[in-house]
């Protein structure tokens, strides 16, 4: 498997897990998803839409109570 095949396979896996209802991604999965978005947003419509959605959301403060809320969710 070459680098392009690996990147394409990871890209497709990210799309697959995004379709799972009520799925809560781990921190690692969110980080991998961010890398996939950076790589594929120019050529993939869905990645571009998700990247634009993320950019349009206001940045949440990472205070103590927000961290507790994340753990509970």
Q: What is the value of pTM for the model shown?
A: 0.69
Best CA proximity match to 15, nearest among 56, 41, 42, 3: 41
Helix, strand or coil for residue 13? helix
Spatial distance between the Cα atoms of 1 and 63, rounded to a whole number of angstroms: 43
Q: Which range of residues forms the domain containing residue 29?
A: 3-72
Domain count, the chain: 1
The answer to whether residues 14 and 41 touch, using CB atoms and an 8 Å cutoff, is no
pLDDT tens-place string over residues 33-73: 999 999 999 999 999 999 999 888 876 666 777 767 676 76
């Amino acid at each position: 498997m070459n680098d392009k095949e690996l990147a394409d396979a990871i890209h497709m896996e990210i799309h697959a897990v995004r379709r799972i209802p009520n799925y809560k991604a781990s921190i690692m999965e969110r980080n991998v998803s961010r890398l996939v978005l950076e790589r594929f947003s120019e050529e993939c419509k869905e990645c571009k839409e998700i990247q634009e959605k993320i950019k349009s959301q206001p940045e949440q403060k990472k205070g103590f109570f927000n961290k507790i809320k994340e753990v509970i969710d």
